[in-house]
């Protein structure tokens, strides 16, 4: 998702918190060219500190980021599991030809709320 946001939409990725990764711990393969702060299976406290320091405007993630989002009043775009606070009954992807308008719509709606 980060690569898509960066390459296709032009979003500035300020930080990533990868909570689940393949068995390989090859940090060289991480997308350093698009994101200077990448945490891999690190503490939520450290990630929150980075979000505060960098004044992040929007989070993309799961309900696990919900606590940070609410405490800092930052919009959270739910795009991955676990997600229990939102139900989707229709196919509304965020990636691809059909997904880009849906994603832009979701981002704008979160900002204007």
Coil, helix or strand for 71?
helix
Average pLDDT over all residues of the chain: 84
Structure-block tokens of residue 25:
């711990």
Locate the domains of the chain by residue range: 2-17+33-112
Indicate the CATH number of 2-17+33-112 among 3.40.50.1980, 3.30.420.40, 3.40.630.10, 3.40.50.300.
Answer: 3.40.50.1980
**pLDDT (tens digit, 9 = 90+) per residue, 7-61?**
888 899 999 998 876 555 666 677 788 998 999 888 999 999 999 999 999 999 8
Read off the pLDDT of each residue in 79-93 and give the average, rounded to a whole number: 70
Exposed/middle/buried for 68, CB within 10 Å: 0-12, 13-18, 19+?
buried
């Amino acid at each position: 998702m980060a690569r898509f946001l960066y390459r296709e939409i032009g979003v500035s990725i300020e930080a990533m918190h990868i909570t689940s990764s393949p068995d390989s711990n090859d940090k060289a393969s991480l997308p350093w060219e698009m994101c200077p702060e990448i945490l891999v299976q690190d503490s939520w406290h450290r990630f929150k500190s980075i979000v505060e320091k960098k004044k992040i405007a929007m989070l993309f993630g799961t309900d696990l980021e919900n606590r940070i989002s609410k405490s800092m009043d930052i919009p959270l775009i739910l795009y991955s599991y676990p997600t229990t606070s939102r139900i989707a009954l229709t196919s509304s992807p965020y990636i691809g030809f059909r997904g880009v308008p849906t994603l832009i719509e979701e981002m704008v709606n979160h900002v204007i709320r």
